[in-house]
Amino acid sequence: MKSPLVHVLVINWNGLEHLEACYDSLIAQSHENARFVLLDNGSTDDSVEFVRQRYGRDSRVRILQFERNMGWSGANNEGMTAALRAGADYVFLLNNDTALAPDCVERLVALGEARSELGAIAPKMRLFHEQQILNSVGLECSIIGACWDRGLGRLDGPEWNAVIPVAGVCGGAMFLRSNALDKAGLLPVDYEIYLDDLDLCLRIWDAGHEIVTCPEAEVRHKFSATMGSGKKLRWKYYLNTRNRWRLILRNWPLRHLPRTTFLALAGEARAIGRALLDGEAWKAWIHARSWLDAFLYIPQAVAERRRQWKQGLRRGRFWPLIRTTPLFFPGTELPENGWYSERTVDGQAVHPIAGEAWLDTQGGETTITLVNPDPGLGAAEVCVEQDGRVVHTLETSSRIEHPVFLDPGTVVFRARRIFRAEDTGERIDIGGYLRVQ
């Protein structure tokens, strides 16, 4: 029996710097019945020529080139339409700044074939340069339409390896069953960006399918948590705020709208108050603008609801996965080389580390301090390693300081115990608090 055909759609706009790592990982996929399609949004940086020259001899590589930038949803919709016409069994939407494990597509297909009710699958996404840190294992959504990546900023570990239902899949690596798209439809282009991936996923649920995670399928992603600054920051804030209302108007069951509206307005009132206290009055204007947009969007939302009704979508199948707390993403912090920002513990400046952290040293005698701010959780233990050998191990329930002699080069601090966010009250998982002098 012929294996299922997968069209991997790589969205690209002037992303030449990312394409080598992405396409090298695609060419190495163990699932052979695949097409790797570059969806190029009118790039001017030789992206298309690079893919054609470097990978064009591989019959699996295809290029769909657009004369103008059609946006994330617009270009992906064109790619999905072409994939469905070509008889693809699955479509895999992929950002160009990703790289897949060699068996990623194979594992996604295996889960899809084993469970015919699945309409979409979320792989495990980790940070490209901090592979110990999660980027996304599915999407979570609150009752007011706020959405965030499940696991973002957390340390990867066994607790993230269960196959569980999720509200949606991150658009950076979104595995979709073709016949689910036939009924649910494609991405909403009027979102421009943000929450359009979740909108599609909610419709997939309502079309009678399910969405789960597949932690065995691994993707690395060059994720950026920054919102930018100036006009770029304000535009992103507006789109996120506006699209939450569009998501609600298009998809929420009518019986939940009164409570949702009350909670959404209360949440935004708090956000406005905080913005005014912080001297960011522009946020208040954006919230007011989003309310006007929501009112003007009602006719389009009604038309979309009618379309869904004619398609036989049963509204609200996703509702058990909608969270009532928190209303907004509580936030996270991402490390750099395994190090988090400075904290003060017992009057001393220290840096939390993730599962491991590393730095370059000129060598010589170095004093390393390990602090455990919560002795009730047990002892902290960190190994100091160079060139694969353990130089010293620090272990303490309170505080320990020890001089060590280091060779020039990279030194690695590897935690033997992780203090989980659920136990510490932090938003991140921590292997210890270190000071290196």
Domain range summary for the chain, segments of one domain joined by +: 6-221, 230-323, 343-436
Phi, psi of 105, rounded to the nearest 5 degrees: -65, -40
Reported confidence tier of residue 227, pLDDT bands at 50, 70, 90 = low
Tens of pLDDT, residues 117-155 = 999 999 999 999 999 999 999 999 999 999 999 999 999
Given a cut of 90, whether residue 52 has pLDDT beyond it is yes
Query: What average pLDDT score do residues 173-199 get?
Result: 96
Phi, psi of 399, rounded to the nearest 5 degrees: -155, 135
Given a cut of 60, whether residue 225 has pLDDT beyond it is no
Given a cut of 70, whether residue 195 has pLDDT beyond it is yes
Q: Look up residue 6 and give its two tokens.
A: 């997968």
Given this structure, which CATH class describes domain 6-221?
alpha beta
The closest alpha carbon to 132, from 353, 378, 433, belongs to: 353
Reported confidence tier of residue 230, pLDDT bands at 50, 70, 90 = confident
Q: Does domain 343-436 have CATH number 2.60.120?
A: yes
Q: Look up residue 22 and give its two tokens.
A: 């992405």
pLDDT value at residue 316:
92
pLDDT value at residue 229:
61
259 SS3 class: helix
pLDDT value at residue 340:
96
DSSP state of 408: S
The C-alpha angle with vertex 357 and arms to 355 and 362, in degrees rounded to 5, equals 160
Strand-pairing partners, residue 214, are: 123
pLDDT value at residue 112:
98
Determine the Cα–Cα distance for residues 358 and 339; give it in Å rounded to an integer. Answer: 8
Find tokens 């015919």 and name the residue. Answer: 116
Quick check: bond before 326 cis, omega within 30?
yes
Reported confidence tier of residue 172, pLDDT bands at 50, 70, 90 = very high
Query: What average pLDDT score do residues 294-317 get?
Result: 94
pTM higher than 0.75 for the full model?
Answer: yes
Q: How far is CA 89 from CA 125, 135, 146, 201, in A?
A: 23, 27, 31, 17
Reported confidence tier of residue 178, pLDDT bands at 50, 70, 90 = very high
Ramachandran sector of residue 347 (left: φ over 0; alpha: ψ -120 to 50; beta: rest): left
Phi, psi of 132, rounded to the nearest 5 degrees: -75, -15
pLDDT value at residue 239:
94
pLDDT value at residue 348:
86
pLDDT value at residue 171:
96
What percentage of the chain reaches a pLDDT higher than 70?
99
Reported confidence tier of residue 309, pLDDT bands at 50, 70, 90 = very high
Assess contact for 423 and 361: CB atoms under 8 A. Answer: no
Give CA 193 to chain center in angstroms: 14
The C-alpha angle with vertex 232 and arms to 230 and 236, in degrees rounded to 5, equals 120
pLDDT value at residue 10:
98
pLDDT value at residue 375:
86
Strand-pairing partners, residue 11, are: 39, 95
The closest alpha carbon to 334, from 420, 227, 173, 226, belongs to: 226
H and E: helices and strands count for the chain: 10, 21
pLDDT value at residue 213:
98
Query: What average pLDDT score do residues 199-226 get?
Result: 94
Reported confidence tier of residue 228, pLDDT bands at 50, 70, 90 = low
CA torsion through residues 42, 47, 53, 59, sign: negative
Given a cut of 70, whether residue 226 has pLDDT beyond it is no
Determine the Cα–Cα distance for residues 227 and 263; give it in Å rounded to an integer. Answer: 25
DSSP state of 31: -
pLDDT value at residue 150:
98
Q: Which amino acid is located at 270 in the chain?
A: R
Given a cut of 60, whether residue 319 has pLDDT beyond it is yes
Query: What average pLDDT score do residues 15-23 get?
Result: 96
pLDDT value at residue 315:
86
